[in-house]
Structure 1
């Protein structure tokens, strides 16, 4: 057990020194939200029926499996590569890493949620089975997460695997977003009875006195541990594509476009992200076909654009220190080249999706064409702008470890950047969308105009930022530390209360703004009432639009409050006498 204990101590020591500043604030916010969810799960153990509690643990399991895949490859604080020279057997290495994986905020929060098994054990008189069931169920959560990430990482070693895993992950997330469709399609108004047979329910069955479920958990843990040990031996130290012929360019701008196009064809992580965005857009828009409604189908193209933009929100960060090539090439229009390259890759897909699916659904042509023009231009302008202003230091592609999904050490920063991009790109489509809804074909020229202005204006701002702060950005990517400047948005001058307020505003502002505000208004305008968790769709006719507008105002107010708190050159309070 010396190796296992040592790895756990290493993980604890790293976390103790790493949770500082913004990372500590992000972890604290996640811990609070996770604690609230855990408390709700334990409450179900006191009052809810078996199926409800089993469904809650199924959601926890799904979060462990899909969360790391969608948000940077999971917890890699202690990596297998650190112990490559020790010659540890694969089974011993996997056991040690599993022990270290129990150290952290997420396992602690999940263990708190699993206290519901102890409550069930007390109520059923099977406390002796409930305690080991808690630990084994947590081990299943962690191991399934590790195995899923390892499988995706293995798939990303080939182009076919990268595309295939991206398609599968995108379809899964789209299905979760449209889960109400599947309930309605299969006549399921409650919780499926099959939920009791999922591995997430085995601990619950054991807590009720079923020793066979406890034995099944033990076997599942051993199988997953063996699978993870086998996958650890297959981890690659780098991800790359096969050789390609040389691409010639007649100008520096053309060289940037050629380099970006080559990157899109060779970088398997970008292949995975593009496939994910495509599958999500098609899956989300096509899901209502199961209940015979094709009203969402034309929006596959716009949804794809928004998701593709979110995937590329840290464009400069994922390239790592390769920025020095641009800084040492006078006159190179790096931003414009990247914009054109992104449009040349994503625009044809979006246009084909939008036109084809709108034709199948017989409209609405003005709205879809207006949104496509506006969103493509807005995304092409915002991607470099957000990337240079809110850059998250990434790992150089040639130095990526055996987990290709992990392109940065700051998972929280990448997630926040993606949400920021989602909200920002959606806002660029609002003028054209509203014009198309009320004035029809007039929305198309408005979309073309706003898209062109966003492409040109945001690109110009990004280009100026890159020229004026290029060395600082390069130093950030090289060292992983952002320079402290007077004009940057900083939080070190804020009190603990102000930091908490700013964190909650930036972290939760998207909820009232996008789903409860913008999306709810869209659903109401399309006659989609009593839809999922969108409050405005459940209200009387006179209250629907005002409530959606109120949520939009609340979301904007939250973002505005956060920006006001961290604004640059904020006057410091006078010292007390």
Structure 2
């Protein structure tokens, strides 16, 4: 039965190539990327092991711990990922739970991330090729590490399944995940800066002593690896390095931690799966509607209905609200990054947010999913559809952009740049919105479905997304040349009059682009509405 489950997963993976062209392209690109990453890891591990086995052990311990952490946490954020072998589908087959667990664990490795993890773990064990006595332990370490990744991932997701069924929990979790991803860069930058400075006490007083960033990083990594090696995340991966150092007591202790952690994770998964098979989580209680919401605030017209629905999406759908949630974090990211480089790049926060908000409607029809059928069945015309999607972005985007521009000039102490930045930002918002309104009625690509995580990347969507974004970016950049050129000229020469010129030229070009873009998009929409619906419903 275990072999049958593995064969079933292999069959499902092979059949992925037959579903659609975009899925095939996406899977091929993901496979090539994973292969390149695995090759890089293995070559680096072997080279480091030949040069300095101690450094190889340090890197493998920390890298393995990050892999375990990723396997445990990413499925929680990307709920619903890889449900091809849903355990609930095997309830009626009376498969012993231990057999089902073993089959599901092995089948979990039959995927691009699973195969990449197995190959990277086995290849990294070759870092100890110069110490033949350690090599068998390195292979055991790789097996234990991969098992910890897979079993821990299944244990966490199965145990948290009741919470993940709650829509509100998923929405909050998704927004937190987006915020964490955005803040990773500034956090790493701050840590790297801190590692370059140490404090030394001299005669009772604290004296700051600057040390080499490389030395500080190595010391911090050694201390961190020493701690991680005694945790479930890094215990298995630290075994070869511990044996190579000749510390038999530490080796026995870390092996015990690795085995005990794996046994505990297996037990948690077993109990959680038994509970979910007997009492599967429901879809949660439906929320009680209170009033008309935004439908009561917009006019009772087709345009008002579309605008009200889109406004509701922006505030309640995590696929939209996640974009708004990271906006307050962008000034922090740019301010910290600018502080590290000495360049006040926080000044670009206004134009960047304006472009992001405008581009956000570039795939609105795909985000509608089956709800778009209502537009087609009611013969909603293209002008109503395009303006209904653009108005909410303008209503909250204009004051938001103005606030961010004012904040950026205050943080940098450059009030003289306010007119130019304000003109550039207020021009970029309608300009980007106009471009997105035009191309969104022609180019669609797969997106997470309603109720799914905004971090989930549907198969076949990566290439299409990059093409659409690149096309929109090039068109927007080309149309922004007048405003951008005047802004750079104003900043370079310190001519405030040119800044006021940007305040006139930027919005004028943006509004003109918005009017033309909506007109083009409306005509294309009227001609292709049934095709758009068919394309949206065909997305996996």
Superposition TM-score, scaled by structure 2 size? 0.73
Alpha-carbon distance between aligned partners in 1 of 2:112 and 2:171, rounded to the nearest angstrom: 30
Residue 456 of structure 1 corresponds to which residue in structure 2?
515
Counterpart secondary structure, 1:123: coil
Residue 252 of structure 1 corresponds to which residue in structure 2?
302
Alpha-carbon distance between aligned partners in 2 of 1:17 and 1:452, rounded to the nearest angstrom: 47
Structure 1 residues 434 and 236: alpha-carbon distance in aligned structure 2, compared to 1, 3 A threshold: farther
Tell me by how many angstroms 1:430 deviates.
5.1
Counterpart secondary structure, 2:237: helix
Matches within 5 A, 1:83-482: 83=90, 96-124=103-131, 125-142=133-150, 154=163, 157=166, 159=168, 162-163=171-172, 165-176=174-185, 179-187=188-196, 188-189=213-214, 190-191=217-218, 192-193=220-221, 194-196=223-225, 197-198=227-228, 201-208=234-241, 209=243, 210-224=251-265, 230=272, 233=276, 237=283, 242-246=288-292, 247-248=295-296, 249-275=299-325, 277-278=326-327, 280-288=329-337, 295-308=344-357, 313-330=362-379, 332=381, 333-363=384-414, 364-393=417-446, 397=450, 400=451, 406=456, 408=458, 410-412=460-462, 416=466, 419-420=469-470, 423-424=473-474, 427=477, 429=480, 431-439=482-490, 440-441=498-499, 442-480=501-539
Superposition TM-score, scaled by structure 1 size? 0.69
Tell me by how many angstroms 1:319 deviates.
1.2
Tell me by how many angstroms 1:326 deviates.
1.1
Tell me by how many angstroms 1:339 deviates.
0.9
Deviates more, 1:256-265 or 1:266-275: 266-275
Q: Which structure has the larger Rg over C-alpha atoms? A: 2
Q: 2:161 touches 2:281 (CA, 8 Å); kept in 1?
A: no
Q: 1:203 touches 1:213 (CA, 8 Å); kept in 2?
A: yes
Alpha-carbon distance between aligned partners in 1 of 2:98 and 2:471, rounded to the nearest angstrom: 41
Alpha-carbon distance between aligned partners in 2 of 1:422 and 1:153, rounded to the nearest angstrom: 40
Structure 1 residues 149 and 304: alpha-carbon distance in aligned structure 2, compared to 1, 3 A threshold: farther
Q: 2:434 touches 2:514 (CA, 8 Å); kept in 1?
A: yes
Counterpart secondary structure, 1:244: coil
Alpha-carbon distance between aligned partners in 1 of 2:505 and 2:69, rounded to the nearest angstrom: 42
Q: 1:45 touches 1:120 (CA, 8 Å); kept in 2?
A: yes
Higher relative contact order (CA 8 A, sep 6+): 2
Q: 1:67 touches 1:74 (CA, 8 Å); kept in 2?
A: no
Q: 2:64 touches 2:233 (CA, 8 Å); kept in 1?
A: yes
Q: 1:178 touches 1:284 (CA, 8 Å); kept in 2?
A: no
Q: 1:170 touches 1:283 (CA, 8 Å); kept in 2?
A: no
Tell me by how many angstroms 1:177 deviates.
6.6
Structure 1 residues 31 and 162: alpha-carbon distance in aligned structure 2, compared to 1, 3 A threshold: same
Alpha-carbon distance between aligned partners in 1 of 2:304 and 2:188, rounded to the nearest angstrom: 45
Counterpart secondary structure, 2:85: coil
Matched, 1:75 2:108: no
Q: CA RMSD in A?
A: 4.0
Alpha-carbon distance between aligned partners in 2 of 1:147 and 1:303, rounded to the nearest angstrom: 40
Matched, 1:33 2:74: no
Tell me by how many angstroms 1:256 deviates.
0.6
Q: 1:166 touches 1:274 (CA, 8 Å); kept in 2?
A: no
Q: 2:349 touches 2:405 (CA, 8 Å); kept in 1?
A: yes
Alpha-carbon distance between aligned partners in 2 of 1:408 and 1:290, rounded to the nearest angstrom: 36
Tell me by how many angstroms 1:281 deviates.
1.7
Residue 208 of structure 2 corresponds to which residue in structure 1?
none
Residue 495 of structure 2 corresponds to which residue in structure 1?
none
Deviates more, 1:150-159 or 1:47-56: 150-159
Deviates more, 1:435-444 or 1:281-290: 281-290
Residue 207 of structure 2 corresponds to which residue in structure 1?
none
Alpha-carbon distance between aligned partners in 2 of 1:284 and 1:326, rounded to the nearest angstrom: 39
What 5-or-longer segments of structure 1 have no aligned partner?
482-577
Q: 1:71 touches 1:415 (CA, 8 Å); kept in 2?
A: no
Alpha-carbon distance between aligned partners in 1 of 2:436 and 2:138, rounded to the nearest angstrom: 50
| Equivalences, count | 475
Tell me by how many angstroms 1:134 deviates.
1.3
